[in-house]
Structure 1
Amino acid sequence: MTEESDFELVGELVRPYVMTSGRELPPDREFSVTTLVTAVEGALESRILEPESRRILELCSGGFLSVVEIAGHTGLPLGVVRVLLADLAEGGLVHTRAPVPIAERADRKLLEDVLNGLRTRFA
């Protein structure tokens, strides 16, 4: 390897560490890739933020985005996004919620009873 490529490799490894100040995700905060995030109104004006955190708030100010979408739009590693989101959530700058669950299949017997009831009512 050349010195230049060594420097690029170190830059790729160090930058995420620097963005999170070496912190890991707190144990009480768990963000799955499908956790939905939105910025609190006025969050961008509330304080001085690191550029990465500001970008996340800008992305989330228009509505809910999933954690994986935020990582994709920012180009940041998923682990870094999770740590930054934990900081933003702790500061009250974002709201998070679990994604809307996929609808479960309705019980066939229940559907048949409803259909039969409608048939007798409107027949």
Structure 2
Amino acid sequence: MPLRYWKVRPYVLTAGRTRTRTPLLVHTLVSVPYYDAVFAAGLLPEARSLYENARRAARSVAELSAVCGISLGVTRVVVDDLAATDRLLVHSDHDNVDFRLLERLRDGLRKLA
């Protein structure tokens, strides 16, 4: 009898949790500081997919969700779990913000209004 891949229910992946310990917005960037193949081999397929896709380049939570085909809520919880093990780095939302650009954008929108 051939083995089949059974899709795991979201509440199994998140242990019933719907909230994260740290706020993870859709645009929050995550990356893998150092890749551990042994650690990856021990993960559930969904978590492994998130871990390996974040390894290639810093990606947003929303992008990981889309690329891996995992719901955003589950992605947030699993990313939070991986970050708690220090295997995944959650970048500060302020690291990549150009406040001067945002101010110019705001001023331009005010002129249009």
Same fold (TM over 0.5): yes
- Whether 2:97 is the aligned partner of 1:101: answer yes
Q: Distance in 1 between matches of 2:102 and 2:73?
A: 37
What is aligned with 1:55? Answer: 49
The count of aligned residue pairs is 95
Cα-to-partner distance string for 1:63-83 (whole Å, 9 max, x where unaligned)? 200000001001111110000
Structure 1-normalised TM-score?
Answer: 0.66
Q: Percent identity?
A: 31
What is aligned with 1:87? Answer: 81
Residue 40 of structure 1: which of 33, 43, 48 is its match?
33
Runs of 4 or more above 3 Å deviation: none
Q: Distance in 1 between matches of 2:12 and 2:32?
A: 24
Cα-to-partner distance string for 1:40-75 (whole Å, 9 max, x where unaligned)? 313332361111111011101112000000010011
Kindly indicate whether the alpha-carbon contact (under 8 Å) linking 1:44 and 1:54 is maintained by their aligned counterparts in 2: no
Structure 2 portions without partners, runs of 5+: 1-6, 104-113
Q: Distance in 2 between matches of 1:105 and 1:39?
A: 28
Residue 67 of structure 1: which of 61, 71, 79 is its match?
61
Q: Distance in 1 between matches of 2:15 and 2:26?
A: 22
Structure 1 portions without partners, runs of 5+: 1-11, 108-123
- The DSSP-based 3-state class of the residue aligned with 1:42 is coil
Q: Call closer, same or farther: CA 1:52–1:105 in 2, change over 3 Å.
A: closer
How far did residue 103 of structure 1 move? 4.4
**Please, what is the CA RMSD of the aligned residues?**
2.5
| Structure with more of its chain in helix, by fraction | 1
What is aligned with 1:15? Answer: 9
